[in-house]
Amino acid sequence: MGKWTRRGVLSAGVVGGTGLVIGIAVRPGNPTETAGHLVTGKGENLLHIYLKIDDQNRATAILPHSEMGQGAQTALTQMLAEELDADWDLMRFEEAPADGAYANMALGRGYLFAGVNFPDAVVPTVDGLVLKLADALGMQITGGSMSIRSTGQYFIRAAGAAVREMLVNAASKAWGVPQDEIRTANSRLYHDTSGRSAPYSEFAAAAARVTPSSTPKLKKAGQFTVMGQSKPRHDIPSKVDGTAMFAMDVKRPGMVYAAIRRTPVAGGTLLRLDDSKARAMSGVIDVIKIDALKASGMLGAYSAGDSVAVVADSYWRAEKALAVLELEWSTKGKEQVSSASIFEQFDRDITAGVNRLVDVASGDADAAFDSATTLLTADYRVPYLAHTCMEPPNATAEVTADRAEIWIGCQNPLGFRQHLAANLGLDLEQVTLHNYFMGGGFGRKSNADYALQTAIIARRVGRPVQMVYSRAEDIKQDFYRPAVQSRFKAGLDADGKLIAWQNTYVDKHEPAEAPLIPYAVPTQDIGHVASPTHVPFGAWRSVDHSQHGFFTESFIDEAAHAAGRDPYEFRAEMLKDKPRLLAVLNRVAQEANWGRPMEEGRGRGISLQESFGSIVGQVVEVTVSGGKTWVDRVVAVIDAGYAVSPDGMKAQIESGIIYGLSAAMYGEITIEQGAVAQSSFADYDAIRMHDAPVMETHIINSGAAMGGAGEPGTPGVAPALANAIFDATGKRVRTLPVIKADLRSDAEASPSVAAVGA
Amino acid sequence: MTTFTLNGEVRTVNTDPETPALWVIREQLDLTGTKFGCGMAQCGACTIHVNGRAQRSCITPVSSLEGASVTTIEGLKGADGTLHALQQAWIDQQVPQCGYCQSGQLMSAAALLAENPSPSDSDIDNAMRGNVCRCGMYGRIRSAIKQVADASFYDAMEGNQNG
Ligand code: FES
Ligand code: FES
């Protein structure tokens, strides 16, 4: 499988580069000419690619991110309203169309980067690949916790500020007064000395023709009145009465339904298909074979094997007929591959260390280990994980010879549209994509396989088709969080100081910094070896942090215990030159009453993790009894620089924690005879109401550069949990999920002996 | 042919008798608030009320609804359109993330409170454990249920005082 880059351009520094994104400009008239028809209706003026104002003085944010529940759209609207000095009650938002105009060069350079020269190194990329530009701008991809910290911080706020200046400029001309005598508030312009005032709408058309400053002035944190407030999310009322539209709620005239099954062994081919029984069943319209699909690059490289779909007049009938198909698949020579053989391979490859690539090398590792008085080694393992979005992958499509239209919930509307066009042999303009609320995304819905399958089926049956994955198909045909093994060695000196840290793990993806540790350990040697498997992998909430957070924050805990030190103090001492991290660690220890004695059978564990620009500290409290673990409480502290919507941020962190906890406690996809063995919530369960911990989240507004919130809650919970279990039982969980670990005490493990003893 | 009352209206459907009510409600009766999450009674996304009791519509054969009174999320509001107290609490507590599980969560919670207006934490656990929320909003769901339970407790007290 090829190198998978979710944010290749970003890591090359396009957005991250200093001084690059300094001005947002709108060329006179241009947005209305090129994009206006896409997003404006009667009485509406498009003043900026991200903003229109109507004749009722309502301002609408046009947002290039999909809503999968993270509340990003409301927070982005807050950022726009803040800089625009808009009346919050007059603010609306809608999702930008998945249209070329929303990510083409004219828009990208003309509006977003007007007057800014790209560094030479970036130009070929930008000119060559529109999609990459869109990605670099965070324009349409929702993932990487990018919405607020990139789109919002760099573009949306600047858009609001620029438009405010354009309105002031237009009013100053009309009123014949200097711009600096005009103030703005609540979506109105005021000239106090003459007593004049007008709503923004009055000058919207004139302002749309103004050439804006390429460096609009942004507010400072102390001036915020809309940002920093917990505004009720706009999408919530529709999500309590059944009216919210998810892709699966779409119904087209004459629509039929498809159920689908792909080869159980990834990459396999269909050897034999007998559909005679299925075709004889009532309501069955067609049985369709779909050849292996492939994608690369920005969609997350994937290759998937053949699949078969049954089309019927109801989904139930389609599923029933699918169940009676006689299918024979090739196993691609993978019938011997199992989770056990995969971990044996990892173990071998780590030991062999062939072509080991180094992330960090500081000091002389051999010398440091020689001088150490205590040596510590451990191997950690995590299994494959599925996403199990609550809404299984599905789409509705209508495809003719020269047109394709698709209704879907996805994390990358423009990328999906490109992918469909390329694979259906159509021009981009011939493909229309309507994006809906996603019933969960978590990274799964950035892979376009389900969109393309649907479009192929629709083309073949020549009528609108809704294709829905069964839960089993969802679990068996995912792009999994990879299984990973990581080998550690640590050296402590006579004073119990950690002097050397060595780590070799298999397979590196993103983000590059995930395996690094923040602690001041003088000698470090962190590296990785390749150990590819045939199991498809993809982005899973927090990506590589989800495994390395568990590994490194567990092993540092082992080192603390080996040194006979308190795990919190041990960490704190090595963070003296990292004040932001230290502040989070101290705060979470304090909020969780770290050090307060606990009853027998209970334990407390701590973790600290920086990811996606945010720092999260967690303390988990557990009770372990009869070998079973109960997570009683999770206390979290996040420093994401600044919380645009504190309540929304808390919800995101707690959501991320439960997602990570589900995986840590129960999550395990196993491979048997080359195929995924799990198929339902019965064998791939999640945290539920009765085992959800009490949670509290505290926010630090440090004023540092903004970080994400959708993912950073996830990585730290597994290590804090494992550390708490160690505190409670003295047993170290080095392989997830926890449910597989034998945590019974000796007495519990041999009750008869205990009984005799008693 | 199966005839039942759906959100107060008499409806008759003609389909394979073993078809799960979920698909009949969504595809034939065009009420899409009831969600498909697993089809195996393992996630609760499809929860409806049948004669006032919470039931997983994905394993409820439509034929079993003959003569029954069925309520879906669309029928949880009052006849005058006012939100059910739980729906308002869901907004107050900003419960939904993606929202996909929430119809089912609300229907399970509403059935619980109809039977037991002041549930304990373990009552809530038992009534709600069949409803998965992959966005992990259990804490907020619990708070919202308690908000309504406490209010009805308070109303009952006030009622007693007034009476
Ligand atoms: S869809 Fe019925 S319980 Fe999951
Ligand atoms: S809100 Fe997304 S699954 Fe519950």
Query: Which structural domains are found in chain A, ordered by start?
Result: 7-233 (3.30.365.10), 247-333+393-468 (3.30.365.10), 340-384+480-740 (3.30.365.10)
Give the whole-number percent of chain A exceeding pLDDT 70. Answer: 84
Q: Do A468 and B36 touch (CB under 8 A)?
A: yes
With a cut of 70, say whether residue A431 has pLDDT above it. yes
Taking the alpha carbons at both ends of chain B, their separation in whole angstroms is 49
More confident residue, A547 or A539: A547
Q: Which residues, other chains included, contact A311 with Cβ-Cβ below 8 Å and sequence gap of 6+?
A: A256, A257, A258, A284, A285, A286, A287, A288, A318, A457, A461, A465
Q: Which pLDDT band holds residue A510 (cuts at 50, 70, 90)?
A: confident
Q: Do A236 and B95 touch (CB under 8 A)?
A: yes
Output the CA–CA distances (angstroms, integers) from residue A689 to A655, A674, A679, in the order listed.
Answer: 13, 34, 22
Q: Do A236 and B77 touch (CB under 8 A)?
A: no
Q: Which pLDDT band holds residue A162 (cuts at 50, 70, 90)?
A: confident
Q: Do A241 and B76 touch (CB under 8 A)?
A: yes
A534's tokens: 């045939």
Q: Give the Cα separation of A125 and A112 in Å (integer).
A: 17
Domain boundary among B17, B45, B75: B75
With a cut of 80, say whether residue A398 has pLDDT above it. yes
With a cut of 80, say whether residue A368 has pLDDT above it. yes
Residue A518 at interface with chain B, using a CB cutoff of 8 Å: no
Helix (H) or strand (E) holding A326: strand A326-329
Order of strands across the sheet with A59-63? A44-48, A51-54, A59-63, A91-95
Q: Give the Cα separation of A157 and A161 in Å (integer).
A: 6
A390 close to ligand 2 (CB < 6 Angstrom): yes
With a cut of 90, say whether residue A19 has pLDDT above it. no
Residue B43 lies in a domain: yes
Q: Which of A264-273, A407-416, A580-589, B80-89 has the lowest mean pLDDT?
A: A407-416
With a cut of 70, say whether residue A282 has pLDDT above it. yes
B151 close to ligand 2 (CB < 6 Angstrom): no
Q: Do A241 and B77 touch (CB under 8 A)?
A: yes
Cβ(A190)–Cβ(A144) below 8 Å: no
Residue A85 sits at the vertex; the CA angle it makes with A81 and A86, to the nearest 5 degrees, is 55
Residue A240 at interface with chain B, using a CB cutoff of 8 Å: yes
The pTM assigned to this predicted structure is 0.89
Cβ(A32)–Cβ(A45) below 8 Å: yes
More confident residue, A605 or A711: A605
Distance from CA of B138 to the nearest CA of A (A): 6
User: Domain range for residue B20?
Assistant: 2-75
Distance from CA of B57 to the nearest CA of A (A): 13
User: What is residue A99's predicted lDDT score, i.e. its pLDDT?
Assistant: 59
Q: Which pLDDT band holds residue A37 (cuts at 50, 70, 90)?
A: low
The CB density around residue B113, as the number of other CB atoms within 10 Å, is 21
B99 close to ligand 2 (CB < 6 Angstrom): yes
Rg over CA atoms, chain A: 28
Q: Give the Cα separation of A154 and A661 in Å (integer).
A: 33
Cβ(A611)–Cβ(A617) below 8 Å: no
Domain match, B50 and B97 both: no
Domain match, B121 and B90 both: yes
With a cut of 80, say whether residue A685 has pLDDT above it. yes
Q: Which pLDDT band holds residue A154 (cuts at 50, 70, 90)?
A: low
Cβ(A492)–Cβ(A372) below 8 Å: yes
Chain A positions in Cβ-Cβ contact with residue B40 (cut-off 8 Å): 471, 680-682
Residue B123 lies in a domain: yes
Give the whole-number percent of chain A exceeding pLDDT 90. Answer: 68
More confident residue, A157 or A578: A578
Query: Environment class of residue B12 by beta-carbon count within 10 Å: exposed (0-12), middle (13-18) or buried (19+)?
Result: exposed
Domain match, B10 and B47 both: yes
User: What is residue B152's predicted lDDT score, i.e. its pLDDT?
Assistant: 67
Residue A183 at interface with chain B, using a CB cutoff of 8 Å: no
Q: Which of A51-65, A382-396, B48-62 has the lowest mean pLDDT?
A: A51-65
B-proximal residues of A, 316-335, CB under 8 Å: 316-317, 319
Q: Which pLDDT band holds residue A95 (cuts at 50, 70, 90)?
A: confident
B145 close to ligand 2 (CB < 6 Angstrom): no
User: What is residue A98's predicted lDDT score, i.e. its pLDDT?
Assistant: 64
Q: Give the Cα separation of A6 and A296 in Å (integer).
A: 11
Chain B positions in Cβ-Cβ contact with residue A239 (cut-off 8 Å): 90, 96, 99, 102
More confident residue, A202 or A133: A202
Q: Which of B34, B40, B98 sits opposite A69 (nearest CB)?
A: B98
Contacts by A574-580, CB closer than 8 A, 24 or more apart: A574/A498, A574/A519, A574/A520, A574/A521, A575/A518, A575/A519, A575/A520, A576/A520, A577/A520, A578/A518, A580/A615, A580/A639, A580/A702, A580/A704
Q: Which of A251, A389, A655 sits opposite B136 (nearest CB)?
A: A655
B21 close to ligand 2 (CB < 6 Angstrom): no
Rg over CA atoms, chain B: 16
Average pLDDT over residues B47-75: 98
Q: Which pLDDT band holds residue B79 (cuts at 50, 70, 90)?
A: confident
Q: Give the Cα separation of A415 and A132 in Å (integer).
A: 9
Q: Which pLDDT band holds residue A150 (cuts at 50, 70, 90)?
A: low
- Nearest ligand 1 atom to the CA of B59 is 2
Q: Give the Cα separation of A64 and A49 in Å (integer).
A: 10
Report the CATH number that the domain containing residue B117 is assigned in CATH.
Answer: 1.10.150.120
Q: Calculate how far, in angstroms, residue A546's C-alpha sits from the geometric centre of ligand 1.
A: 28
User: Phi, psi at residue A633, to the nearest 5°?
Assistant: -155, 145
User: What is residue A122's predicted lDDT score, i.e. its pLDDT?
Assistant: 30
Helix (H) or strand (E) holding A398: strand A394-400
More confident residue, A186 or B163: A186
Q: Calculate how far, in angstroms, residue A533's C-alpha sits from the geometric centre of ligand 2.
A: 32
Residue in B closest to A653 by C-alpha? B136
Residue pairs between chains A and B whose CB atoms are closer than 8 Å: 179
Q: Calculate how far, in angstroms, residue A44's C-alpha sits from the geometric centre of ligand 1.
A: 43
Distance from CA of B163 to the nearest CA of A (A): 34
Average pLDDT over residues A387-404: 97
More confident residue, A63 or A502: A502
User: What is residue A118's predicted lDDT score, i.e. its pLDDT?
Assistant: 33
Pairing of strands A465-468, B69-71: unpaired
Residue B56 lies in a domain: yes
Q: Do A236 and B94 touch (CB under 8 A)?
A: yes
Closest CA to A6 of A514, A667, A529, A361: A514
Kindly report, residue by residue over A598-642, the tens digit of the pLDDT.
999 999 999 999 998 899 999 999 999 999 999 999 999 999 999
Average pLDDT over residues A728-757: 84
Number of domains comprising chain B: 2
Average pLDDT, chain A: 86
B137 close to ligand 2 (CB < 6 Angstrom): yes
Domain boundary among B56, B75, B94: B75
Domain match, B89 and B71 both: no
Query: Best of B38, B43, B101 to mutate for ligand 2, by most ligand atoms within 8 A of CB?
Result: B101
Kindly report, residue by residue over B11-58, the tens digit of the pLDDT.
999 999 999 999 999 999 999 999 999 999 999 999 999 999 999 999
Q: Which of A231, A689, A690, A696 to mutate to test the interface with B (most CBs of B within 10 A)?
A: A689
Whose C-alpha lies nearest to ligand 1, atom 3? B41
Residue B80 lies in a domain: no
Average pLDDT over residues A544-555: 97
Whose C-alpha lies nearest to ligand 2, atom 4? B133
What residue has token string 């449910």? A739
Domain match, B92 and B134 both: yes
Chain B positions in Cβ-Cβ contact with residue A687 (cut-off 8 Å): 136, 138
User: What is residue A129's predicted lDDT score, i.e. its pLDDT?
Assistant: 27
Q: Which pLDDT band holds residue A111 (cuts at 50, 70, 90)?
A: very low
Q: Give the Cα separation of A32 and A49 in Å (integer).
A: 9
Report the CATH number that the domain containing residue B17 is assigned in CATH.
Answer: 3.10.20.30
Residue B42 lies in a domain: yes
User: What is residue A71's predicted lDDT score, i.e. its pLDDT?
Assistant: 73
Residue in A closest to B81 by C-alpha? A241
With a cut of 60, say whether residue A757 has pLDDT above it. no
Chain A positions in Cβ-Cβ contact with residue B125 (cut-off 8 Å): 689-690
Output the CA–CA distances (angstroms, integers) from residue A639 to A73, A592, A646, A660, B115, in the order listed.
Answer: 21, 17, 11, 19, 43
Q: Which of B135, B147, B148 to mutate to test the interface with A (most CBs of A within 10 A)?
A: B135
Chain A positions in Cβ-Cβ contact with residue B90 (cut-off 8 Å): 236, 239-240
Cβ(A64)–Cβ(A99) below 8 Å: no
B96 close to ligand 2 (CB < 6 Angstrom): yes
Domain match, B104 and B59 both: no
Residue B163 lies in a domain: no
Kindly report, residue by residue over A227-265, the tens digit of the pLDDT.
999 999 888 999 999 999 999 999 999 999 999 999 999
Q: Do B83 and A240 touch (CB under 8 A)?
A: yes
Domain match, B120 and B139 both: yes
Residue A235 at interface with chain B, using a CB cutoff of 8 Å: yes
Residue A520 at interface with chain B, using a CB cutoff of 8 Å: no
With a cut of 60, say whether residue A10 has pLDDT above it. no
User: Phi, psi at residue A693, to the nearest 5°?
Assistant: -75, 165
With a cut of 50, say whether residue A533 has pLDDT above it. yes
The CB density around residue A333, as the number of other CB atoms within 10 Å, is 11
Domain match, B39 and B58 both: yes
Q: Which pLDDT band holds residue A751 (cuts at 50, 70, 90)?
A: low
B131's tokens: 């409803």
DSSP class of B36: -
Domain match, B40 and B102 both: no
Average pLDDT over residues A514-538: 96
Output the CA–CA distances (angstroms, integers) from residue A556 to A187, A369, A521, A611, in the order listed.
Answer: 53, 16, 11, 17
User: What is residue A9's predicted lDDT score, i.e. its pLDDT?
Assistant: 24
Q: Which of B46, B63, B98 to mutate to test the interface with A (most CBs of A within 10 A)?
A: B98
With a cut of 90, say whether residue B161 has pLDDT above it. no
Q: Do B83 and A241 touch (CB under 8 A)?
A: yes
B-proximal residues of A, 647-676, CB under 8 Å: 647-648, 651, 654-659, 661-662
Q: Which pLDDT band holds residue A36 (cuts at 50, 70, 90)?
A: low
Helix (H) or strand (E) holding A671: strand A671-672
Domain match, B63 and B29 both: yes
User: What is residue B23's predicted lDDT score, i.e. its pLDDT?
Assistant: 98
User: What is residue A151's predicted lDDT score, i.e. its pLDDT?
Assistant: 62
Q: Calculate how far, in angstroms, residue A620's C-alpha sits from the geometric centre of ligand 1.
A: 31
Q: How many residues does chain B have?
A: 163
Residue B36 lies in a domain: yes
Q: Calculate how far, in angstroms, residue A660's C-alpha sits from the geometric centre of ligand 1.
A: 23
Kindly report, residue by residue over A283-310, the tens digit of the pLDDT.
999 999 999 877 654 444 566 789 999 9
Domain match, B50 and B15 both: yes
Domain match, B10 and B70 both: yes
Kindly report, residue by residue over B97-109, the tens digit of the pLDDT.
999 999 999 999 9
Q: Which of A208-222, A290-304, A646-660, B139-153 has the lowest mean pLDDT?
A: A290-304
More confident residue, A8 or A734: A734
A71's tokens: 């509340």
With a cut of 50, say whether residue A514 has pLDDT above it. yes
Chain A positions in Cβ-Cβ contact with residue B36 (cut-off 8 Å): 248, 392, 468
User: What is residue A418's predicted lDDT score, i.e. its pLDDT?
Assistant: 83
User: What is residue A240's predicted lDDT score, i.e. its pLDDT?
Assistant: 98
Domain boundary among B45, B75, B105: B75
Distance from CA of B120 to the nearest CA of A (A): 12
Helix (H, G, I), strand (E, B) or coil at A341: helix
With a cut of 70, say whether residue A44 has pLDDT above it. yes
Q: ipTM surpassing 0.90, yes or no?
A: yes
Distance from CA of B87 to the nearest CA of A (A): 6
Residue B54 lies in a domain: yes
User: What is residue A415's predicted lDDT score, i.e. its pLDDT?
Assistant: 79
User: What is residue A710's predicted lDDT score, i.e. its pLDDT?
Assistant: 86
Q: Calculate how far, in angstroms, residue B131's C-alpha sits from the geometric centre of ligand 2.
A: 10
With a cut of 50, say whether residue A371 has pLDDT above it. yes
Closest CA to A325 of A246, A407, A270, A375: A270
